[in-house]
A and B are shown apart, each in its own frame.
Chain A
């Protein structure tokens, strides 16, 4: 289970989300649900049973009047460099082995023990409580990208992985290099649809990709960095109170600290 060990990849797909641009409109959640064939729930207000691979949290600075501020924080799977969920899976239904560093979740292998859910501090993993039954006819609008999962398995965001595969095929067809996709050749649904372009996506290890610089910006941070899970999703905000809410600082009191626990 070697914690603290991060597997390195030549290509590392990462997301940079600009929290100062996110209006919280929810288009990303809708696009995600559509791309990944998540059946609509009659009572989606029961957040304890919903499936939201992409979830937009509402952050508040807890002040009132003209000082009041809120920020919206879209939370996909962090695709951790050192995932807490992968080593615990008893049946290798999830792993981080593919070039690009996306954490896979294989529904036909998963036995639904939910150990990975207990392991993930971001609540990015969801248990499929019920079979995906769509309103009559709506199954004709299923996306070809993601298989419909039976009930009883765990599922999660995979950066719209099928789009990655398709981008590679396109590159092959056009004589390009499938292992070195150009910036923008591969875009998850949420990043593609965001009306304010708050979500940037690309290879954080590739200077050609704009996320390379964004991820290193002075206002960039990741959620719960101190836990040492080394997420591949970065957030950017000029607002200190927002950056502060990205991690627990009881000890240092300072935000933005990239300190990993030893």
Chain B
């Protein structure tokens, strides 16, 4: 049904209906705002990546010989802050969520387009604060800002950075708020909750965390800024405060924040696996409710970051058992994805490779989380490289694989162009190999006892550190390749048909790239999600 014959005249789309810089900077179109976000997060990903490269370069040798301790500390702090708050948190929701949610639910736009644009500006302003702090000399507290080091001892620009994160947090809150209202109130006729694509469910759960959790980190940083800037004591024991209270408040957000990063990625992966298995996902309701369960249970496990930090042993025990409970919905998802492929018609396209990579890496990331939730084990492993490896498996192996998978999956829809499948498959494989080479050795380092945030380390850790640094260089190359061929495709890639993958969700029923108003007529939904029909399957490449 789809003919790939190139159209002679330029197709009208959201991309070219208006032109000029102002039409982009003042746009209220969710699709254009998504692209603004894409530019923002790509920039911060590159910046955070540079710091990662510098860290791995320094750690190739045991001695602290490349830079001074103070500089190294700023490297890992800036790496963490930029990657967490300015890349991972907005990455999938603000780019792909923004682009796809209205399209997937058959709406013309998100509920509050002005708010949507405003949250991009807030995000950029927050980013500017962080970059200003960076240019002035950076900050050396670690992304966790533990008091009293951050409030009374650090020599970095804690106030500027804290304000930057505070501001960027509001961008995240407003995005979440917008999505919740959009999903509740903007669905097309006939699109009931259980006909929604699972990507929407994942984003709904994510948005819940964003609006419930982010305010708490905002107020925590607000108090930190007051304590540091105005010497009004809240957490520093010198003022009678309790530094462990800061950790509670910090992790009340920052643990669920991990789910802000991973849930949208799970949503992307669900879409990709169903599409490229041409099969309805196995256990739709289980996947949908497990997203919500993760969002809810994710809020009551934060204390597992505090097992050795002076929290009561009884609280530790409660947090430990709750942490195991939240593992179950994640396990359910992994098993359901795998079962979706069973007796499907599997196509190993680039997005599918990323999705399968996600399953593998997230499984390892999730399982090693079980180590850290176990009290006696965590006493040995916490604050070592085991933790670093674990959360990179979840955040890089999980969230970024999902991000790249999603970018490759929706690229034809977003830009109306096809990229080179060979290059993209090669780079997906390079990233997978490079990633494992970088982070698997860190599990071993962690169990050997190498603490995190170490500028210099004893000799016996070198072998694994060299391996890790070598892997990082491969990973770095892996990330550069997509950057090149995707840009190339914008100019030279063949035009994309409306539904190049034979997918069965609403965004593929409109043209690529879509019209400014998304659909020529508002779609009416009459069947469950993911109903694949033979006619929709097309051959690509």
B and A form one assembly: no
B interface residues (Cβ-Cβ under 8 A, vs A): none
